[in-house]
Amino acid sequence: MLMCCSSKMSFLILSFLVLSFLSARFPVVRAQATAVEYNFVVEQANFTKFCETRSILTVNGMFPGPEIRVLKGQTVHVNVQNDAGYGITIHWHGVKQPRNPWSDGPENVTQCLIQPGKNFTYEVITSDEIGTLWWHAHSDWSRATVHGAFIILPSSDELADSPYRFPNYTLVFATWYNQDLKEISDIISANGSATADAAGYTLNGYPGDQVTCNNVSEPIYNMTVEHGETYLLRLVHAAMHEPQYFGITGHNLTVVARDGALVKNFSTPYVLLYPGQTMDVTFEANQNQSRYYMLYRYFDDSSVDTNDQNTTGFLIYSNPVDSTVNTTFPTLPGAKDNSTAFNFTAGLRSKNSRTDTEVPRGNVTVKRIILTVRVDTVNCSGSSTCPSAGTKSAASFNRISFAAPTELDLLRAYVGGNTSLYNTSYPLSPDEELENATYAYQGTNVIELNYGDPVEIVYQAIDAGPAGGHPLHLHGFSFFQVGMNNGTFDNSTDPASYNTDDPPELNTAVVFGSGWIAVRFFANNPGVWFMHCHFESHASWGMSTALIVKNGPNLLPAPAGLPSCSA
């Protein structure tokens, strides 16, 4: 009997130690009435893909990283312990963070790096977002491997009539490099060199069977379904540069949400996603019980060479009556089919009509900001890392290539009144002198808004080289895409064609090459909010700025333990 009790005690102690270890390294620690807590450990881990074993930066040793799941309106506390060899920050992509830019994450904009051996607890405040968002590193190029889904579930009274009542799978599409990402980032920042070549792509960490290593196919992601059921797919596009079409052989998709907001449902054989975007789709498992390909195929409206890997997964019916594999790929548009891509994007509509308090319209006089968007060059003569020609690649809005401060993040500079670290002089429409200049101007220039301003931003893509389109992401807000077209925006005639009744609510919108888009929102979230292209090389080159929303309600207090800006 004594031996039995001793064994029980040993088992309890061992169980406690195992649970303590797991809770320190893996997602949910505990849920409270209003808050959920997660622990993230940023650390190196070895993974073998595309014929090479690499040590990559991960969260909790996982690629993709752990999935966060919360109820609509809940607050999430994420404790990030940095056990890597260099600094990092984390961004909660699409979470508006009302009055709380302190936990938004972009390096040197709202915080400085969490240094090696240090930690910081993010307070992530959800509000009206619903469905699928994501989180990712927001420092150097670490987001290539440091990312995961951020799922916001409806309340119980909303669940019955929502698409989120169905069983669901999360599909994370990512870019894989066989080079050191920190080195890539440092080189691109220093001398403006072209972006590094991707080894390929992964679906939930799997390259898929179209990739071979020593004549053997790489592992493929398998998704099992029951015949007759309806499923929800949560699509997270974590790629660094590559837009992709997605489809499933023999199965139609119904789009139900984009970027954490419901849309008018529509049926389609494929969807198109740009880096930074998320989408929720449903499908019926109504085909012969076999195996079917899920396929990602690239779309490219630029003249830059792109890795054209087909990235595959399998949809597998349980208890298949046909053991053979359906080897047919779904029919997806061509890589250079710009009109199909444009029409798919232009067809999105909000699920319901919007109100005057959501979309600036009617007799409201909007503050219109027109930004030219282009890949550019800056003069770097005199710099030790400058190429021999004396210029380096850059990117800009209105010919201003953004450079964040380094001695103090922009948010603390703004709150502390340290205006010497940034410049509020920003052309709110293309400036003739800047537009005709040989080089872009490089500086920490920001756009100031007053709290409550009805804002319209028109992004005009300039056909100046091979850049093509751009996915443009605004932190701290969702905006409403009221217009888009090819060609040059006409300030006097184009606003008459706007859709202000049911425009889609987005956090990452695409302006196609040589075209324009117009978005509207109310500046009702005070603080400092980053705005940038979600192609990583373009962001590194300066295709970004920050919006400072002044006055209005006070910001939440700065959190304890905010990382210092000195190493």
Q: Of 105, 127, 154, which closes a domain?
A: 154
List helix spans (H) across 147-289: 156-159, 181-191
CB 154 within 8 A of CB 223: no
Q: Are residues 427 and 516 in the same domain?
A: yes
Strands 253-258, 261-268: pairing is antiparallel
Range of the domain at 384: 367-550
pLDDT in the model for residue 8: 36
What is the rounded distance in angstroms from the CA atom of residue 533 to the CA atom of residue 44?
27
* Helix (H/G/I), strand (E/B), else coil: 192: coil
Burial class from Cβ neighbours inside 10 Å (0-12, 13-18, 19+) for residue 351 reads middle
> Tokens standing for 198?
């991707």
The residue type found at 144 is A
Beta pairing partners, 532 = 473, 544
Are 332 and 375 members of one domain?
no
Q: What is the pLDDT of residue 313?
A: 98
Q: 375 with 467: CB under 8 angstroms?
A: yes
Local structure of 99: helix, strand or coil: coil
Asked if residue 242 and residue 373 are part of one domain, the reply reads no
Q: Output the pLDDT for position 408.
A: 96
Number of domains in the chain: 3
Position 567 scores a pLDDT of 58
Asked whether the bond before 64 is cis by omega within 30 degrees of 0, the reply is yes
Q: Please report, in tens digits, the pLDDT of each residue of the chain (567 residues total).
A: 333 333 333 433 333 333 333 333 333 433 444 789 999 999 999 999 999 999 999 999 999 999 999 999 999 999 999 999 999 999 999 999 999 999 999 999 999 999 999 999 999 999 999 999 999 999 999 999 999 999 999 988 899 899 999 999 999 999 999 999 999 998 888 888 766 789 999 999 999 999 999 999 999 999 999 999 999 999 999 999 999 999 999 999 999 999 999 999 999 999 999 999 999 999 999 999 999 999 999 998 776 667 889 999 999 999 887 767 778 999 999 999 999 999 999 999 999 999 999 999 999 999 999 999 999 999 998 777 788 788 999 999 999 999 999 999 999 999 999 999 999 999 999 999 999 999 999 999 999 999 999 999 999 999 655 558 999 999 999 999 999 999 999 999 999 999 999 999 999 999 999 999 999 999 999 999 999 999 999 999 999 999 999 988 899 999 999 999 875
Give pLDDT, residue 10.
40
Which residue, 199, 227, 418, is CA-closest to 315?
227
In a domain, 473, yes or no: yes
- Angle ∠(277,278,281) on CA atoms, nearest 5: 140
pLDDT value for 18: 35
Measure the CA–CA gap between 556 and 104, rounded to whole angstroms.
13
Bridge partners of 479, per DSSP, are 506
Distance CA 367, CA 451 (A): 12
Q: Which element (helix H / strand E) includes 374? A: strand 367-379
Contacts of 438 (CB under 8 A, 6+ apart): 379
* Dihedral, 358, 360, 364, 365 alpha carbons, nearest 10: 150
> What pLDDT, on the 0 to 100 scale, is given for residue 465?
54
Q: In this structure, are 376 and 259 located in the same domain? A: no
State the CATH number of the domain containing residue 113.
2.60.40.420
Residue 19: what pLDDT? 35
User: Do residue 537 and residue 395 come from a single domain?
Assistant: yes
Q: Distance between CA 401 and CA 375 in Å, rounded?
A: 10
Same domain, 430 and 513: yes
| Residue 194 contacts residue 217 (beta carbons within 8 Å) | no
Judge if 320 and 176 occupy the same domain: yes
* 4 assigned to some structural domain: no
Q: Are strands 68-71 and 147-153 parallel, antiparallel or unpaired?
A: parallel
* pLDDT of amino acid 305: 65
557 within a domain of the structure (yes/no): no
Coil/strand/helix, residue 320:
coil
Tokens of 355: 């109100």
Q: What is the largest CA-CA distance in the chain?
A: 90
Q: Is residue 560 part of a domain?
A: no
Answer for the pair 236, 170: CB distance below 8 angstroms, yes or no.
yes
Last residue of a domain, one of 132, 154, 176: 154
Q: Are residues 316 and 378 in the same domain?
A: no
Q: 213 and 317: one domain?
A: yes
The verdict on 219 and 336 lying in the same domain is yes
Residue 436 lies in a domain: yes
Answer with the one of 154, 188, 211 that is the final residue of a domain: 154
First to last CA, the chain: 58
Tell whether 317 and 451 lie within a shared domain.
Answer: no
Q: Is 205 exposed, middle or buried (0-12, 13-18, 19+ CB in 10 A)?
A: middle
Residue 202 lies in a domain: yes
Quote the strand ranges of 417-478, DSSP E. 441-443, 447-450, 454-461, 470-474
Tell me whether residue 563 is in a domain.
no
The answer to whether residue 565 sits within a structural domain is no
Burial of 271 (0-12, 13-18, 19+ CB in 10 A): buried
Measured distance CA(67)–CA(205) in Å, rounded: 14
Decide if 173 contacts 296 (C-beta within 8 A): yes
Residues 322 and 196 in one domain: yes
Instruction: Tell whether pTM > 0.85.
Output: yes
Which pLDDT score, from 0 to 100, does residue 552 have? 85
Residue 303 is predicted with a pLDDT of 62
